[in-house]
């Protein structure tokens, strides 16, 4: 590795490799297919940049991060290495210069955004270039199990086959499922050499806090670190702007950043953050992966991240220079509801949504952890031997208590209701709240009814949240948020194991202000999310706005009334005859499962009195199809004739005969006229 050491010193200015880098550089430089999972800030870029200088030809680097590509091209160029990029963030002149350098064989590193792989003519360009290696940064983006799936990444495997060159893939976060899909998508039948380096970032201090005046919590956290560069992540674009204003008003220097900004404004924000000391950027997750600023001293989350992988990736922006850095993550019940609904409203298949709920449980487990947060985080990534001393729970261990009795009551309520209900209904049972739903289902007669009155509703929500955090229960994606027990819960239910809960979480719930009013009751929220997902899928298929299918008010009424038939669906506000015909079955299937096939003539009467008459007339016809004695030749009316009778309601034999004809009027007339007279 003499050549590598010399390049490391002369080009990159380092006297030695970071732990784990040297073996990866050697494998990539030798042309071995490689998958490296390294911690954020662990020096992934060098593991493909240095081998690129050791190999002939050009190394193709595929990355989703335009800002990072721009920074790396600038850094390589300033170090005397010929590098260029083809991205939508470049001017046409910059892209032309890169193409010319590639054509002339002067480039050592060519950076491409994955969406460029669909460009007409790019394949021919690369085939005629002397490409000797493909490097894929943020390789988890190729996996639908990962936290940042990008469809354009799916083209990389075909490109590797076309160019027939070694491939090196890099990512900071990839659990076993994600690693398996990365290998399948990128390497095909070839088995890469895999490097799994430690995920620990010992210089990062980890902390979580329950939301309690979250804006004040963020302002205080930033004020205590005045003059230090930091990032605040928010769940919405609007919040980035309002929180940046609040920080500036408090005396800090802050800017906002989100995907809704113009490209020039985003570039200006990125450049300003790179160049200014002590600047705070308040951003959505659109900001971050492409920012390689080494001296970010803190990262705060004003809202709960999407998953434990996303959390690890985002806090990893801090302290890349190895010096101490701090993190703070705020969370609350509304965050968790939002993240659950985002999963339920997604268009992913059920197994993916179930896995996403499990991942969210893992993040809840980190938020509600009782012992060392670092150990909890790294255990998720498969590391067991952890030394901490740099997290809030090691600083001040929380008080816990034996929560076995409360958890067993909750598990019993889940089991006795057949794992068919969500948190809201289960809490009604435990607290003895005799709602219509509890009474209609006879759940006020259960042994668990009213056994949990020692806790109020919000305290029970905190218990269920901790149960999810310890992965004892998960939402069932096929039952719209109903909870089911995992295998880990069964020993507790059987009295073979005990469990401890955090006392501060229960106490905070007792004192918490009432939750923000939601569109529907907690119990109906998962179904509303599923209905929105169906609406979104239909809208995308037809290329129309979602409200054209049904507006929110209509979906809310569906979630609350849960129509199980076309007649009931037709009575929902906003469901006219045309929309019932077009979408009725699709939404009924979401609400009630499989939908019985309905004759078009009957479907047109759905929700009207004539529909009920149609059903009664059909029933009478079935009874008389072989005559009153059951011995005559079979005879029946058409569905159109029955529908016409139901709509016109003839009240004398002659009028009925004109619709049915003499033979049918003779057999069914009296019975039909009786039904019509009774209907008025």
Place of tokens 């086959």: 161
What confidence tens digit (pLDDT) does each residue in 192-222 have?
A: 999 987 788 889 999 999 888 899 999 999 9
High-pLDDT (> 90) share of the chain, %: 37
- Say yes or no to pLDDT of 266 above 70: yes
Query: What is the pLDDT at residue 169?
Result: 94
Query: What is the pLDDT at residue 404?
Result: 96
Helices 457-469 and 503-511 pack at an angle, to 10 degrees, of 150
What confidence tens digit (pLDDT) does each residue in 82-116 have?
A: 999 888 777 788 888 888 888 888 899 999 988 88
What confidence tens digit (pLDDT) does each residue in 293-309 have?
A: 778 999 999 999 988 88
Report pTM.
Answer: 0.70
Which contiguous run of DSSP H or E holds residue 329? Answer: strand 325-331
Distance CA 369, CA 371 (A): 6
187, 308 in Cβ contact below 8 A? no
Query: What is the pLDDT at residue 512?
Result: 55
Record the tokens describing residue 121, joined without a space. Answer: 């003519």
Angle formed at CA 366 by CA 360 and CA 343, multiple of 5 degrees: 10
Query: What is the pLDDT at residue 232?
Result: 96
Quickly state the pLDDT bin for 455 (edges 50, 70, 90): very high
Query: What is the pLDDT at residue 607?
Result: 67
The better pLDDT of the pair 479, 419 is held by 419
Angle formed at CA 520 by CA 514 and CA 521, multiple of 5 degrees: 60
Quickly state the pLDDT bin for 516 (edges 50, 70, 90): very low
Distance CA 460, CA 283 (A): 33
What confidence tens digit (pLDDT) does each residue in 271-300 have?
A: 888 878 889 999 998 786 556 677 899 999
What's the Cα-to-Cα distance from 384 to each of 20, 205, 378, 387, 395, rounded to whole Å?
18, 19, 7, 10, 20
Rg (CA), the chain: 32
Cβ atoms < 10 Å from Cβ of 493:
17
What confidence tens digit (pLDDT) does each residue in 607-629 have?
A: 677 777 888 888 888 888 888 77
* 214-243 mean pLDDT: 93
What confidence tens digit (pLDDT) does each residue in 118-159 have?
A: 776 777 788 888 899 999 998 888 887 666 777 888 889 888
CA nearest neighbour of 452 among 485, 428, 422: 428
Which contiguous run of DSSP H or E holds residue 602? Answer: helix 600-603
Quickly state the pLDDT bin for 679 (edges 50, 70, 90): confident
All domains in the chain, ordered by first residue: 2-196 (3.40.50.300), 204-333+381-395 (3.40.50.300), 400-516 (1.10.10.10), 523-597 (1.10.150.80), 609-679 (1.10.150)
* 232-251 mean pLDDT: 94
> Which residues of 26-97 form beta strands (DSSP E)?
34-37, 58-62, 83-86
Angle formed at CA 387 by CA 382 and CA 391, multiple of 5 degrees: 95
Query: What is the pLDDT at residue 1?
Result: 52
Quickly state the pLDDT bin for 635 (edges 50, 70, 90): confident
What confidence tens digit (pLDDT) does each residue in 560-578 have?
A: 888 888 888 888 888 887 8
Residue 571: left if φ>0, alpha if ψ -120 to 50, beta else—which one?
alpha
How many residues would you count in the chain? 680
Q: Got the DSSP string for 404-467? A: HHHHHHHHHHHHHTTT---HHHHHHHHHT---HHHHHTTGGGSTTTTTTTTS-HHHHHHHHHHH
* 481-509 mean pLDDT: 91
Query: What is the pLDDT at residue 41?
Result: 65
Q: Based on the number of CB atoms within 10 Å of its own CB, is 35 exposed (0-12), middle (13-18) or buried (19 or more)?
A: buried
Tell me what the pLDDT averaged over the chain comes to. 87
Distance CA 326, CA 273 (A): 18
Quickly state the pLDDT bin for 518 (edges 50, 70, 90): low
561, 568 in Cβ contact below 8 A? yes
Instruction: Name the DSSP letter for residue 391.
Output: B
Query: What is the pLDDT at residue 109?
Result: 93
Distance CA 438, CA 432 (A): 9
* 15-28 mean pLDDT: 88
């Amino acid at each position: 590795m003499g050549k590598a050491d010399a390049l490391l010193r002369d080009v990159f200015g380092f006297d030695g490799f970071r732990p784990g880098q040297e073996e990866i550089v050697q494998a990539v430089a030798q042309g071995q297919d490689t998958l490296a999972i390294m911690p954020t800030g662990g020096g992934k870029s060098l593991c493909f940049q240095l081998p690129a200088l050791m190999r002939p030809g050009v190394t193709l680097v595929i990355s989703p991060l335009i800002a990072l590509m721009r920074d790396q091209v600038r850094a390589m160029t300033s170090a005397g290495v010929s590098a260029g990029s083809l991205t939508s963030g470049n001017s046409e002149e910059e892209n032309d210069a890169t193409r010319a350098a590639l054509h002339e064989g002067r480039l050592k590193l060519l950076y491409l955004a994955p969406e460029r792989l669909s460009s007409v003519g790019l394949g021919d360009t690369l085939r005629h270039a002397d490409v000797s290696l493909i490097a894929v940064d943020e390789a988890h983006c190729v996996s639908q199990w990962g936290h940042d799936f990008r469809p354009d990444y799916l083209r990389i495997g075909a490109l590797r086959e076309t160019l027939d060159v070694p491939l090196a893939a890099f990512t900071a976060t990839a659990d076993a499922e994600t690693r398996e899909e990365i290998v399948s998508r990128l390497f095909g039948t070839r088995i890469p050499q895999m490097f799994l380096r430690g995920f620990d970032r010992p210089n990062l201090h980890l902390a979580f806090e329950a939301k309690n005046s979250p804006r004040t919590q963020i302002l205080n956290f930033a004020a205590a670190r005045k003059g230090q560069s930091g990032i605040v992540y928010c769940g919405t674009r609007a919040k980035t702007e309002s929180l940046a204003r609040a920080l500036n008003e408090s005396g800090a220097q802050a800017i906002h950043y989100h995907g809704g900004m113009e490209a020039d404004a985003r570039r200006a924000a990125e450049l300003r953050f790179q160049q200014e000391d002590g600047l705070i950027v308040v951003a959505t997750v659109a900001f971050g992966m492409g920012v390689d600023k080494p001296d970010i001293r803190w990262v705060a989350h004003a809202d709960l991240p999407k998953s434990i992988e996303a959390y690890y990736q985002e806090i990893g922006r801090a302290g890349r220079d190895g010096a101490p850095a701090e993190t703070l993550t705020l969370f609350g019940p509304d965050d968790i509801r939002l993240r659950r609904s985002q999963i339920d409203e997604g268009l992913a298949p059920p197994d993916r949504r179930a896995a996403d709920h499990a991942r969210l449980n893992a993040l809840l487990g980190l938020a509600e952890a009782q012992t060392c947060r670092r150990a909890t985080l790294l255990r998720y990534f498969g590391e067991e031997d952890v030394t901490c001393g740099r997290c809030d729970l090691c600083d001040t261990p929380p008080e816990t208590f034996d929560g076995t009795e409360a958890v067993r009551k909750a598990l019993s309520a889940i089991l006795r209701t057949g794992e068919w209900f969500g948190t809201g209904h289960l809490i009604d049972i435990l607290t003895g709240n005799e709602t219509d739903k509890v009474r209609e289902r006879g759940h006020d007669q259960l042994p668990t009814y009213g056994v949990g009155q020692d806790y109020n509703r919000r305290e029970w929500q905190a218990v269920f949240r901790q149960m999810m955090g310890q992965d004892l229960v998960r939402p069932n994606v096929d039952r719209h948020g109903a909870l089911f027990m995992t295998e880990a819960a069964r020993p507790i239910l059987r009295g073979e194991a005990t469990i401890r809960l955090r006392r501060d979480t229960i106490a905070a719930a007792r004192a918490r202000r009432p939750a923000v009013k939601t569109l529907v009751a907690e119990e109906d929220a998962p179904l509303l999310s599923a209905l929105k997902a169906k609406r979104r899928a239909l809208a995308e298929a037809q290329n129309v706005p979602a409200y054209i299918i049904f507006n929110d008010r209509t979906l809310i009424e569906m979630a609350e009334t849960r129509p199980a038939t076309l007649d009931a669906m037709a009575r929902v506000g906003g469901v006219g005859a045309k929309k019932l015909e077009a979408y009725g079955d699709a939404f009924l299937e979401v609400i009630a499962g499989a939908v019985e096939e309905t004759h078009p003539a009957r479907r047109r009467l759905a929700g009207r009195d004539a529909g009920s008459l149609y059903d009664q007339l059909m029933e009478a016809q079935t009874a008389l199809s072989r005559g009153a004695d059951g011995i005559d030749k079979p005879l029946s009316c058409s569905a159109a004739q029955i529908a016409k009778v139901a709509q016109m309601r003839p009240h004398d034999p002659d009028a009925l005969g004109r619709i049915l004809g003499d033979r049918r009027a003779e057999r069914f007339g009296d019975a039909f006229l009786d039904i019509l007279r009774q209907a008025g």
